[in-house]
Structure 1
Amino acid sequence: MTASDQHRPEIVVGLVATPPDHPALVATRLTAELADRLADQVDADVRWTVRDGWGEVAPRRDGGAEALLDDLAQRRTDERWDVAICLTDLPLHTDRVPLIAQTSTQRRAAMVSLPALGLRQLPTVRAVVPDLVGQLLAGAPGGRRPAPRRTPADLTSRVAAIHRAIGAADAGDVRYVASRVTGRVRLLTGMVRANRPGRALLGLSKLLVGAFGTAAFALTTSTIWQMGDALGGLRLTVIMLLGLTGLVAWLIISHGLWEKPDRHTPAELARMFNLGTILTLALATAVSYVVLFLGTLFAAALLIDASVLEQTLQRPAHTTDYLTLAWIISSLATVGGAIGSGLEDEETVRTAAYGRHPEPSGRHADEER
């Protein structure tokens, strides 16, 4: 710290990730650069200090954004921060539209719902958090008010997908929401992003091993070759979709991933959790299916000579016959994969449930790109 820095007033910004799973990855990246961004966008004449921390693994669900802001305000007071920002992966709504962010100048706190930002969460957070901090400081009663180089930007001018809605006037609340249609689509894709489908894919390794075992056995059965030749593209597509749907349903039922509404979880939030779980598992199983298909195709081309296939089909063999063979075998093998999924570690599979987060064992070393 230089001598000039010591004479500048210090403003401490708290950045809280709740739950400490995907939001912690975003917060870690943002913390490293937020002070410079605040100096550039809010005020260069103060000394910015950014503190990051974890929130609850299972934050309160029934109170929505207000509960988060209340908890955040208490955390800000306890830690003696000037303002506090919460990053959460809870899919929040207000008036049946996705809630992106909410500020409260009385509490000197703001929250950002990462799923509502869609796929490009980190770039959007980089753009909006400095403006949220500026708005909180400019409107805080009796607090230090920096003289920003410009009036704190309204988020609607920074991100086209964000719309402004006034909250409780007496609390100085401002809500930022998404559109009803495209905002819901962005929210669902953001939920899948926040749920880290790559983790679900890696966690279902035994499922893929079981499916490969079933596929290896089916490759040696000439009846399957004839069945694939007899079925058309439409029926093969239906078989594939039924297999994938059955696998996702089996994973949800056998591992208890379905979220039920209760006094702690409103029905709307439970529906969003279940949609996030279904989409995450659907993406993970679809990627597993592609891997299985390519592996089966390679094995069929390597092990089944064209003359043997022609003898069984009683006609010349073509490349499309190998593709069809890999297609039907992969679809049938997903049933064997469902059996393999029963051997997975329960906690590993349950991390695919959107409403469940693993207990953190230490700081995340992963980085979001």
Structure 2
Amino acid sequence: MAISEQHRPEIVVGLVATPPDYPAQVVARLAAELADRLAERVDPHVRWTVRAGWGEVAPRRDGGVEALLDDVARRRADARWDVAICLTDLPLHTERVPLVAQTSARRRVAMVSLPALGLRQLRALRAAVPALVGRLLTDASEERVPPVGRAPAELAGQVAAIHRVVGGADAGEVGYLASRLAGRVRLLTGMIRANRPGRTLLGLSKLLAGAFATAAFALTTSAIWEMGDALGGLRLTVIMLLALATLVTWLIIAHDLWEKPGRQTPAELARMFNLGTVLTLALAAAVSYLVLFAATTLVAALLIDTSVLERKLQRPVDFTDYLMLAWIISSLATVGGTIGSGLEDEDTVRAAAYGYHPEPGGWREEKEA
């Protein structure tokens, strides 16, 4: 059995994470199972070897997908891989439509944009990456003997994010595009996931501490009780939205999270980065608000006796009144929490910016290796 294994032809597939932040986590999970999937879906008579590697921390933005494929091709050649697949969190476009993947037989590399896959990225990659590897081996073969019988159009039927295929299949330069409307929605949700709002939420600990302190003080102020009783649901909704908008705006301004278009960052890419940042911060702020609202409701119900609240409001009260009280207090406390947000660790808040990628530990050793 060992002899037959040694006599099998070996094909080395490189998985490159560019930048080595969120894509590196996806690469690590995919690399552990990719060899078996390649044997199952591409060719069982080949000894598949999968190598995981890191790409640039700050990939080039001005050259689009062609610059990215060039960088991956150099990485493939230096590492002596047969083919390479790059997973990136860059939101790429072709013909103003989200680009899901692209293959280049000339370079023997392919690229997959993780945000374009939406929320269920690993599931889509399990279908897409073996098909892309098979496509590269087919198109790059001098004999033009397909090791796997899948045409580019078949991948569109396997991956929900892919709507149509463009480019010359005969030349090996094939692009896989999303739909114009649903693809943009999927791209935005994928960008939020890639930006990891949970990391932003956990990082804003001082903001939550400041908001809780403000809420605790407001609970002891009877004037706030009367204000919550006087305001209706519509006005409380407006106040809540204004408080959340103030918090998000303050975070962006105070920590310089706004991506400015320039010579190295096209305007369209800068807009996508900023949209990803705003959506990530908005989601983290909304979850923080819900946590604050729930805690404030609980504390109000325990701290303020029903008889005391009835005497102040001069009418019978029920649990709805505690919810309205927690609503106005949470909105005011959110504004107070923006002061605490200015005290956050700079790197922690900067991580919420979509275009910001810190250099991971061991990156220089990986590049030298």
What residue in structure 2 maps to residue 165 of structure 1?
165
Matched, 1:236 2:250: no
Task: Tell me which moved more, 165-174 or 342-351.
Answer: 165-174
Matched, 1:274 2:274: yes
C-alpha deviation, 1:145, in angstroms: 5.8
Does the 8 A contact of 1:137 with 1:145 survive in 2? no
Q: 1:204 to 1:231 in 2, by over 3 A?
A: same
SS at match of 1:167: strand
What residue in structure 1 maps to residue 358 of structure 2?
358
C-alpha deviation, 1:144, in angstroms: 9.4
SS at match of 1:259: coil
What residue in structure 2 maps to residue 50 of structure 1?
50
CA–CA distance in structure 2, aligned partners of residues 347 and 23 of structure 1: 19
Using the size of structure 1 for normalisation, the TM-score is 0.95
Matched, 1:193 2:193: yes
Letter in 2 for 1:293: F
C-alpha deviation, 1:362, in angstroms: 4.6
SS at match of 2:356: coil
Pairing of 1:1-369 with structure 2 (within 5 A)? 2-142=2-142, 147-148=147-148, 150-151=149-150, 154-167=154-167, 172-362=172-362
Does the 8 A contact of 2:73 with 2:108 survive in 1? yes
Q: 1:51 to 1:169 in 2, by over 3 A?
A: same
C-alpha deviation, 1:359, in angstroms: 1.4
C-alpha deviation, 1:358, in angstroms: 1.7
Does the 8 A contact of 1:87 with 1:112 survive in 2? yes
Letter in 1 for 2:105: T
Does the 8 A contact of 1:137 with 1:144 survive in 2? no
SS at match of 2:227: helix
Does the 8 A contact of 1:103 with 1:173 survive in 2? yes
Q: 1:37 to 1:170 in 2, by over 3 A?
A: closer
In the alignment, structure 2 segments of 5+ residues that lack a partner are 364-369
Letter in 1 for 2:69: L
Q: 1:96 to 1:211 in 2, by over 3 A?
A: same
Q: 1:47 to 1:169 in 2, by over 3 A?
A: closer
C-alpha deviation, 1:267, in angstroms: 0.2
Does the 8 A contact of 1:134 with 1:152 survive in 2? no
CA–CA distance in structure 2, aligned partners of residues 191 and 280 of structure 1: 9
Does the 8 A contact of 2:116 with 2:190 survive in 1? yes
Q: Identity of paired residues, percent?
A: 76
- 4+ runs of 1 displaced by more than 2 Å? 141-148, 150-154, 163-172
Using the size of structure 2 for normalisation, the TM-score is 0.95
Does the 8 A contact of 1:156 with 1:162 survive in 2? yes
Q: 1:236 to 1:106 in 2, by over 3 A?
A: same
In the alignment, structure 1 segments of 5+ residues that lack a partner are 364-369
Letter in 2 for 1:306: T
Does the 8 A contact of 1:42 with 1:152 survive in 2? no
CA–CA distance in structure 2, aligned partners of residues 352 and 260 of structure 1: 16
C-alpha deviation, 1:172, in angstroms: 2.4
SS at match of 2:142: coil
SS at match of 2:87: strand
Does the 8 A contact of 1:43 with 1:146 survive in 2? no
